[in-house]
Amino acid sequence: MVVIDIGDGLIELINPVITEKEGCEKNTEGCLSIPGIFGEVERYEKVTVEALNQNGKKVIITGTGFLARAIQHELDHLEGVLFIERADTLFKENT
């Protein structure tokens, strides 16, 4: 299960599977699991996910841009993959 919140409310996905994907873009990512570290990660620009919601009903969500990136980032966590393993370059936050 993953819970995603990019500012539009919680998205809860149980047993999510990406069923469609389009395009590619590279952008900066970070993670609460590794504070202060960021990296340039290539992800799909658009993804469609099938999952169950908290009531056990099938949901289909299509995300583009930041939502697509967040979905892929969180699904990676389910596979034990951190963004630093996908990043082309890593850098520390400027403080």
Question: Of residues 20, 40, 50, 74, which has the active-site annotation?
Answer: 74
Q: CA 15, 22, 2: angle at the middle one, nearest 5?
A: 25
Tens-digit pLDDT profile for residues 20-71: 999 999 999 999 999 999 999 999 999 999 999 999 999 999 999 999 999 9
Residue 29 annotated to the active site: no
Q: Are strands 25-30 and 89-92 parallel, antiparallel or unpaired?
A: unpaired
Does the domain at 2-92 match CATH 3.90.45.10? Answer given as: yes
Taking the domains of the chain in order of start, what are their residue ranges? 2-92
* Residues 15, 65: Cα–Cα separation, whole Å: 22
pTM above 0.85, yes or no: yes
* Helix, strand, coil % over all residues of the chain, rounded to 5: 20, 50, 35
Q: Are strands 46-52 and 11-22 parallel, antiparallel or unpaired?
A: antiparallel
